[in-house]
């Protein structure tokens, strides 16, 4: 049951709320009109945009640059769906402001394929059926691109550990591990004397 509140207190409360709400709206308006110019390189292309300081990198990529391959799941750094490369290192785009990318180089999943050819990890995912709904896939691919660059001879335990920071709600991890092993094996065939 709701507690009894005298009418006059209720009326005063409503008045206060409407004043606070209008002031809040005013504050938001001020922030919304203030923008900052940022320069980035996105998938090899220079980009210069004006953004509000509060805009997340994930929203900047999706809404401003229309690179919707970067997915947004949890929006607090847990699922890894929004992973992109910042100067080559994987970052959670939902945990960064777009203005923090000033002067940096960003690679999204749209930047993996070149000249109409899939990146080797994309090709291996395709062949190994390593995606189901595909929601987690862009973030996982970006994580693995950096991982394979740094660990070209990775074995299964290391691959599993690398994948552990990205959540797949379809739970298709085994096929992803198979895909990464396929990339490692193919790279070995090309350069058989590479040290393990
Ligand atoms: S949306 Fe960024 S980690 Fe989940
Ligand atoms: S393939 Fe569906 S969430 Fe990973």
Separation of CA 74 and ligand 1 centre (Å): 5
Mean local confidence (pLDDT), 7-22: 40
Identify the DSSP state of 51: E
pLDDT at 16 over 70: no
- Mean pLDDT for the chain overall: 87
pLDDT exceeds cutoff 90 at 48? yes
56 pocket-lining for ligand 1 (C-beta < 6 Å): no
Nearest protein Cα to ligand 1, atom 3? 77
- Is residue 127 a contact partner of residue 179, using CB atoms and an 8 Å limit? yes
From ligand 1's centre to the CA of 122, what distance in Å? 21
Element of type H or E holding 42: strand 36-42
Superfamily designation of domain 40-111 = Beta-grasp domain (3.10.20.30)
Cα separation of the two ends of the chain: 69
Atom nearest to 133 CA in ligand 2: 2
Chain region(s) in the chain for CATH 3.10.20.30: 40-111
Q: What's residue 194's pLDDT? A: 66
Whole-angstrom distance, CA of residue 141 vs CA of residue 183: 12
C-alpha 169 – ligand 2 centre gap (Å): 5
pLDDT surpasses 50 at 25 = no
The answer on pLDDT for 15 being more than 80 is no
Topology, domain 120-190:
DNA polymerase; domain 1 (1.10.150)
pTM equals 0.82
The whole-number pLDDT of residue 33 equals: 62
In the chain, ranges of CATH 1.10.150.120 domains: 120-190
As a whole number, mean pLDDT of residues 44-70 equals 98
Contacts of residue 14, Cβ cutoff 8 Å, sequence gap at least 6: none
At residue 191 the predicted structure's pLDDT band, cuts being 50, 70 and 90, is confident
Of ligand 1's listed atoms, the one at least distance from the Cα of 71 is 1
Sign of CA dihedral 104, 105, 109, 111: positive
pLDDT in tens, 156-185: 999 999 999 999 999 999 999 999 999 999
């Amino acid at each position: 049951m709701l507690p009894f509140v005298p009418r006059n207190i209720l009326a005063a409360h409503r008045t206060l709320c409407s004043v606070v709400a209008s002031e809040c709206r005013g504050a938001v308006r001020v922030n919304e009109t203030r923008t900052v110019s940022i320069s980035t390189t996105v998938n090899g292309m220079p980009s210069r945009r004006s953004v509000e300081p509060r805009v997340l990198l994930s929203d900047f990529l999706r809404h401003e640059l229309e690179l919707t391959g970067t997915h947004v799941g949890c929006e607090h750094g847990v699922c890894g769906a929004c992973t992109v490369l910042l100067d080559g290192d994987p970052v959670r785009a939902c945990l960064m402001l777009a203005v923090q990318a000033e002067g940096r180089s960003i690679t999204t999943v749209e930047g993996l394929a070149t000249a109409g050819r899939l990146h080797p990890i994309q090709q291996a995912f395709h062949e190994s059926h390593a995606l189901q709904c595909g929601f987690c896939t862009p973030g996982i691919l970006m994580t693995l691109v950096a991982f394979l660059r740094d660990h070209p001879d990775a074995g299964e335990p290391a691959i599993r550990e690398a994948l552990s920071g990205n959540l797949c709600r379809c739970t298709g991890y085994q096929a992803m591990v198979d895909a990464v092993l396929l990339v490692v094996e193919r790279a070995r065939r090309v350069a058989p004397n590479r040290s393990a």
